[in-house]
Structure 1
Amino acid sequence: MNDQKIRRPRQADIASLAGVSVSTVSRVLANEPGISETVRRQILKVAAEHGYPVKPATEAVAGGLALIASDGVTGGLSVFYEAIVEGLRAGAAEAGMPFEVRMVREDRITPDAAREYMQAAAAEGLFLVGIDPNEMLRDWLQDTMVPTVLVNGIDPGMRFDGVSPANFFGAYQATGRLTKAGHRRILHLSGSHRQTIRERIRGFEAAIAAVPGAEGRFVSMTLQGSASREAHERTAAILAEDAGFTAAFCMNDFIAVGVLEAVTEAGLRVPEDFAIVGFDDLPCALMTNPQLSTMRVDRAALGREAVSLMLSRFRDGTAPARHICQAVIPVAGGTVVNVEPRE
């Protein structure tokens, strides 16, 4: 008779049998979020069949509330943020997080207003979507230790978790597409109202500085009305100066559409006489002639990453703040000569 004690299976054994990594097994057995239900069920099935003890499910996840700035022109949700909200909803649903959204006027978000919104939604965590908290709100969030994630936002003081596109590197790459195509006098049409946008300005300036003989001109926009109309007017005035600018990197695709209209009206060929690169890869980029060359932001992924940061903050409210920066991807289009292989 064999009295040898049967060895308890290890997580490595479960991983091998389920065809996944040991870290994935570890996360599932610890009931951590962020794993697909198909993979989770498979791992739990293998673990049960081989006698590995499984913890019971954790208690319900605390709720999250997203405050999102309404579009100043339409009073509705900016097209840029629609996919971000969908990513937030999807990530929250996967994690079992109760989740609500409120559109708000950014200048009216006081500590009292934020507290009331959160109480009404029974939320413990706050997503600030496209909103840079003012000093009063920052102080309140820090003092009360409200779990907070900036979505498409950056806190220069790293007091809050955040997720954003790689604004500096994306702008550097976008401008590089123009210099690689031979352009040396390049406009940058942008506002400077948010830290994320200032990162794009820095990226533009760095890309210009990296090329001998290149010259950049920052064209400040008010962004008080139609961005496309304002960009059209500013570009037409600059072209009338005949200052020798042959290209433009635009803060977003709406601005790029206005630049393209002005350039075409001036009788210039695109991209032969004047090249344009936008940012964000919004639906309007597909509607221009030629199709707009831009930089794609995976907005839904930003929302999902924000949920992941919030879940981590729920687990450890005193951990150092983290910022997740996602790469942006060039979209070829036809408004700049493509000097690299197409996607």
Structure 2
Amino acid sequence: MTSIKDIARLAGVSASTVSRVLNEREYVREEVRQRVLAIVKEKGYVQNHVARSMVLRRSFTIGVVVPYLFNMFQRQLFASMEFFLEQHGYKTQFFFLRWTEASEQSFLRRLKAETLDGLIFIHELDNPSIYRYLLERGLPVALCTFEKEEFGFPAVHVEEERSAHMAVSYLIQKGHTRIALITGEHFSFGRQREKGYLQALGEHGISVEPELVVRVPSYNPEAGRAGMLALLKRKKPFTAVFAVTDELAIGAMKALHESNVQVPGDISIVGFDDIDISAYTIPGLTTVRQPIFEMGKMSADLVCEWIARGQKQERTARLSTTIIERGTVRSLS
């Protein structure tokens, strides 16, 4: 039976080059690619993935670190990521983490025992020792939805503060000056989006009212529902809400519906993410669109490029966002 080593010997190239050709990877000259493919066809070679891993001493597995509560935005992001990783010849392995030190330590122990070719983080960790371990190990890593400048890992995320500023400015342009905020207690994106909210109010001469800011323990619809009920209970008048994720916004809409408050007649809402379901709420959710598909592709490309080149690519992609206007914002001007 013909092996990958046999193909490499006949083509006069390394086994890793043959693997790149078979998996349609970059960094192979066209003349070499055609020579390898001709030999593969002549010998009737069919890839044996177990044997390939043994020969190349690689697992062809990329770990993906995600929150234990895997939300709709992250599902869409992972679907894109997985598609492009498969195009590069890799399978994926999940690591589900909770927001606790014990969970992060358990992940670190498991990480030390696993054979991975690379790792993509969708979930942001608090423990710097994990990032330091990955640097020392030299494992290719890409961060998606956040960055850690002090460690220099390649990263992909949107311009968080600017995007939140854009969302709140949009509400102000529609005549709203009493704008509430529903945000979460965890992760840098929540803090950055809150900062964008505060900057937009300040630049338009609108005073920040602490009673119109609610921080909830999660970013899911139930947390959004609880956050909106808390705002209503405070009896502080407001005409619009910026929710820092679509799921928070959708939960907030449910709370308003239960309280017989009309959207957008009484309260306008803007979300953030543009997950698929946002187009199907009633009314459709006006939101900030993240380029989810592109973020998944770029994350996969970054980690695979590091593996292929054998050195870290110190690159950060900060992507732009756009406002998607649907039916949850009423103009007061």
Q: TM-score, normalised by structure 1?
A: 0.72
1:11 alignment counterpart: none
Structure 1 pair 312/336, CA: closer, same or farther in 2 (3 Å)?
A: same
Corresponding position: 1:101 with 2:101: no
2:214 alignment counterpart: 219
- The structural deviation recorded for 1:305 is 0.6
Letter in 1 for 2:296: G
1:47 alignment counterpart: none
Size of the aligned set, in residue pairs, is: 284
**Counterpart contact for 1:68–1:101, Cα < 8 Å:** no
**Counterpart contact for 1:223–1:230, Cα < 8 Å:** no
Distance 1:207 1:85 in 2: 32
**Deviation digits for residues 97-121 of structure 1 (CA, Å, limit 9, x no counterpart):** x2212142244233221122x32xx
Over aligned residues, Cα RMSD in angstroms? Answer: 3.3
- Note the residue ranges of structure 2 that are not aligned, 5 or more in a row: 1-20, 38-51
- The structural deviation recorded for 1:324 is 1.5
Distance 1:150 1:57 in 2: 34
Letter in 1 for 2:218: L
1:65 alignment counterpart: 63
Corresponding position: 1:310 with 2:312: no
Distance 1:269 1:199 in 2: 29
Structure 1 residue corresponding to 2:230, chosen from 228, 234, 243: 234
**Deviation digits for residues 308-342 of structure 1 (CA, Å, limit 9, x no counterpart):** 11123224555462221222221111111379xxx
**Deviation digits for residues 264-302 of structure 1 (CA, Å, limit 9, x no counterpart):** 455544334321101112244234332211122232221
Letter in 1 for 2:122: V
- Note the residue ranges of structure 1 that are not aligned, 5 or more in a row: 1-28, 45-52, 72-76
1:26 alignment counterpart: none
Map 1:223-262 to 2 at 5 A. Answer: 223=218, 226-238=222-234, 241=235, 243-262=236-255
Distance 1:289 1:127 in 2: 35
Structure 1 pair 319/100, CA: closer, same or farther in 2 (3 Å)?
A: closer
- The structural deviation recorded for 1:182 is 1.0
* Structure richer in helix, relative to its length: 2
Map 1:40-79 to 2 at 5 A. Answer: 53=31, 63-71=61-69, 77-79=70-72
**Deviation digits for residues 29-67 of structure 1 (CA, Å, limit 9, x no counterpart):** 9x99479xxxx9xx95xxxxxxxx556679989542212
Distance 1:262 1:338 in 2: 22
The percentage of aligned residue pairs carrying the same residue is: 21
Distance 2:312 2:95 in 1: 29
Structure 1 pair 276/135, CA: closer, same or farther in 2 (3 Å)?
A: same
**Counterpart contact for 1:154–1:195, Cα < 8 Å:** no
Distance 2:151 2:327 in 1: 39
- The structural deviation recorded for 1:181 is 0.5
2:14 alignment counterpart: none
Structure 1 pair 266/84, CA: closer, same or farther in 2 (3 Å)?
A: closer
Structure 1 pair 94/160, CA: closer, same or farther in 2 (3 Å)?
A: same
Structure 2 residue corresponding to 1:148, chosen from 137, 141, 156: 141
**Counterpart contact for 1:236–1:262, Cα < 8 Å:** no
Distance 2:287 2:219 in 1: 23
- The structural deviation recorded for 1:163 is 1.3
Map 1:311-330 to 2 at 5 A. Answer: 311-316=304-309, 318-319=311-312, 321-330=314-323
Letter in 1 for 2:250: V
Map 1:164-243 to 2 at 5 A. Answer: 164-213=157-206, 215=208, 217-223=212-218, 226-238=222-234, 241=235, 243=236
Structure 2 residue corresponding to 1:113, chosen from 110, 115, 120: 110
Letter in 1 for 2:232: A
**Deviation digits for residues 215-235 of structure 1 (CA, Å, limit 9, x no counterpart):** 454211122982233123223
**Counterpart contact for 1:34–1:95, Cα < 8 Å:** no
Distance 2:75 2:26 in 1: 22
**Counterpart contact for 2:226–2:255, Cα < 8 Å:** no
Alignment partner of 2:75: what SS?
helix
